[in-house]
Amino acid sequence: ILTHHTGQKFEKIEKDTDRDFYMTAQESKEYGLVDEVIKSREEAVKK
């Protein structure tokens, strides 16, 4: 499921999820886990 939705290779996901793997909001966007990072409530309300 993660390879399909993130575009990451299985081996990378397997390595990254073997232990705790922390990332910033921006890193999670680049990884493909989230579509968008909302920086403020006002920005979220506009959408």
Which residue ranges make up each domain of the chain?
22-47
pLDDT at 47: 67
For residue range 1-47, list pLDDT tens digits in order: 999 999 999 999 999 999 999 999 999 999 999 999 998 988 888 76
Q: How far apart are CA 42 and CA 23, in angstroms?
A: 24
Q: How far apart are CA 43 and CA 20, in angstroms?
A: 30
Of 22, 28, 25, give the one whose Cα is nearest residue 43: 25
pTM over 0.85: no
Q: How far apart are CA 6 and CA 19, in angstroms?
A: 19
**32: buried, middle or exposed (CB in 10 Å: 19+, 13-18, 0-12)?**
middle
pLDDT at 33: 96
Query: With contact defined as beta carbons under 8 Å apart, do 26 and 33 qualify?
Result: no
